[in-house]
A and B are shown apart, each in its own frame.
Chain A
Amino acid sequence: MSRFHDLEVTDIKKTIRDAVVVTLRPKDAEAFDFIQGQYLTFRRDFDGEELRRSYSICAGRDDGVLQVGIKRVDGGAFSTWANEELKVGDTLEAMPPMGRFHTALDPDAGRNYIGFAGGSGITPVLSILKTTLAREPRSTFTLVYANKGVASIMFREELEDLKNTYMGRLSVIHVLATDAQEIDLFTGRVTEEKVGQLFRSGFLDAEATDTAFLCGPEPMMLGIAAGLKAAGMTEAQIKFELFASAQPGRLAKRAVSVEAAKGANQSTIKVTLDGATRTLQASKELSVLDAVRSDDLDAPYACKAGVCSTCRCRILEGEVEMVTNHALEDYEVEKGYVLSCQSFPLTDTVVVDYDQ
């Protein structure tokens, strides 16, 4: 299992008004040897609540530095803190690089790649394009980069410099939602239709393309994927990475509040933990473990996969559905023990005890 390491902040640069590029020096350099397109998961305590957030590495493998780009998200505790309070000399905690948003590089290959990035979705795509252009000297890369306007383009100057360095091998198409451009096609949103137009007008060539990398918000990814498939590209040629900010903590809470407003699909959970008993309301879509933890109770867990049994608790009243069980013996299940990470309330009231 991955664990957290200390990294020292050695530089912070604003790339646009509300985004910073943070340079990090890991104490254990070997553990942070990354592949282009990977991300780091950070953790930090905010008023007693541990937040974990993942940000993509924006450096190329040959840049000699470890850098992540962090764009401030409205209401996002971690990204706001990183943009406003983080300073050089601070220490951050992160897990070693993870993610599979990459393809194997071959110095002898002459391939053609397309990258589609929306806003801060540029970070992993930048890492990929820099590494690819450096390590596959015969390959070309076309970046289609969607932003609201010129002012919100992250890494604009760096991309210009890269175009000069890799003359004829890197082309960048900026598509801006609100700012008018010389070519009409480059104004508006990047949709399935827009991708089709880019192919038809010759800015992109589906047949010549080996792999397309997509990173952006959900609707944009769907539209681009549909456009690429319509142009004849296969599933295996399309690599996705969801916006690093699309993380379940925020989304889960939002979904729950919508359900809470309707008052439907809720369960009342009475939980006993460390000798104290508390009653809470939670969506039946949340596991017992997540429901309990979202109420600031420090219920134990480790794997969250039903393998390790750390999150075992006993159901005293009501019913839950345990979807996976790799840890509990039959006799334990008969006595009412469940893995709380795998158990979802079925009844409107559930009484659970972590102390038994």
Chain B
Amino acid sequence: MTSDFDTMSLADYLAAGGRLTSPANVPPRYRAELLKLMATFVDSNLAGAAGFAEQINGGPGIKAREASARIVAEKLANADRVLTLMGEFGADTARYVDQHPWHTRLARKAEIEAARVEQDMRLAVFNYPMTDWADAVVMNVLMGHAVCVQLEEMKQVSYQPLAEALRDCLAVEANHAALAEAGLARLIDEGTDPTASVAYWHPRVATSFGLGDADRFEQLKAMGLRHDDNDTLRARWETRTKEALENAGLDG
């Protein structure tokens, strides 16, 4: 930097809402936290796609299966958008995808809260298995809204290439949530009672917002990697899912 301009520390710049733009101008600690965020997104999408892929055959009719297959493809494409950014930091992207059995799940009754149990960064909720088509639809309604709430926050992230990628991902995810809601309406029209699935998935999706370590949040906020805390995001999600469930004729 020359003396022709005012300068400031990178920490002050980030705290004031500044953007970083390439792996070349990202400091070490920021890099670590950023890669962790990106890995969480990539792993959750890979695990989510792999889990939902197994439910495609349970879809009622060819249109529902076609839509489900498209959802799986688009979640993989979203994972790829962010994994490509990780590749720019040197990650071996091919190995990254192939090294891991993304479809594996724990037992339905496992109690892991927000813990990351396997050797990956997927959100805890993606470690639980779906039992059938109706269960998968309910999970997708609840998680679909959670992902949208999380992406609306994450698209403000201070690493500009990620913010741009997530803006594209958000449009896709919003459509998936809408498709899931339509699927839920159809289930209810056809006489399926999804109450047990809602009771199962609701607390697990709520936990995916994290348990809220205030110090850690402040640290990430100072780097521009987070903006709204977990409780705020969870409350936003509660409001939206309540509305979605009530629209479907269920208790929010």
Judge whether A221 and B18 touch: CB under 8 Å. Answer: yes
Tell whether A39 pairs with B24 under 8 Å between CB atoms, given A218-B7, A222-B18, A344-B29: yes
The answer, yes or no, to whether B67 is at the interface (CB within 8 Å) is: no
Q: Which residue of A lies closest to B120 (CB)?
A: A326
Question: 1/0 contact trace for B237-251 toward A, CB 8 Å?
Answer: 000000000000000
User: Which positions 153-212 of chain A face chain B at CB distance < 8 Å?
Assistant: 177, 189
Bound complex: CA A220 to CA B18 (Å) = 10
Which one of B21, B91, B92, B95 lies within 8 Å of A241 (CB-CB)? Answer: B21
The answer, yes or no, to whether B39 is at the interface (CB within 8 Å) is: yes
Judge whether A218 and B8 touch: CB under 8 Å. Answer: yes
Question: 1/0 contact trace for A18-54 toward B, CB 8 Å?
Answer: 0000000000000000000001010000000000101
Bound complex: CA A248 to CA B29 (Å) = 11
The answer, yes or no, to whether B185 is at the interface (CB within 8 Å) is: no
Bound complex: CA A120 to CA B5 (Å) = 11
Judge whether A303 and B91 touch: CB under 8 Å. Answer: yes
Which one of B2, B7, B24, B167 lies within 8 Å of A247 (CB-CB)? Answer: B24
User: Which positions 218-232 of chain A face chain B at CB distance < 8 Å?
Assistant: 218-222, 225
Bound complex: CA A52 to CA B25 (Å) = 11
Judge whether A235 and B156 touch: CB under 8 Å. Answer: yes
Q: Which residue of B lies closest to A54 (CB)?
A: B24
Judge whether B22 and A246 touch: CB under 8 Å. Answer: no
User: Which positions 299-344 of chain A face chain B at CB distance < 8 Å?
Assistant: 302-308, 323-326, 329-330, 341-342, 344
The answer, yes or no, to whether A137 is at the interface (CB within 8 Å) is: no
Tell whether A326 pairs with B39 under 8 Å between CB atoms, given A73-B2, A287-B28: yes
Interface residues on A, range: 35 or more
Residues of A within 8 A of B19 (CB): 221, 225, 240, 242
Bound complex: CA A225 to CA B156 (Å) = 14
The answer, yes or no, to whether A236 is at the interface (CB within 8 Å) is: yes
Interface residues of B, Cβ cutoff 8 Å to A: 1-13, 16-29, 31-33, 35-36, 39, 86-92, 95-96, 99, 119-121, 156, 160-161, 163-164, 167
12 contacts between A and B (CB under 8 A): A189-B5, A218-B8, A235-B156, A236-B164, A246-B25, A247-B25, A251-B27, A252-B28, A254-B9, A325-B119, A326-B99, A326-B120
Interface residues of A, Cβ cutoff 8 Å to B: 1, 39, 41, 52, 54, 71, 73-74, 98-101, 118-120, 146-148, 152, 177, 189, 216-222, 225, 235-236, 239-248, 251-252, 254-255, 285-287, 290, 302-308, 323-326, 329-330, 341-342, 344
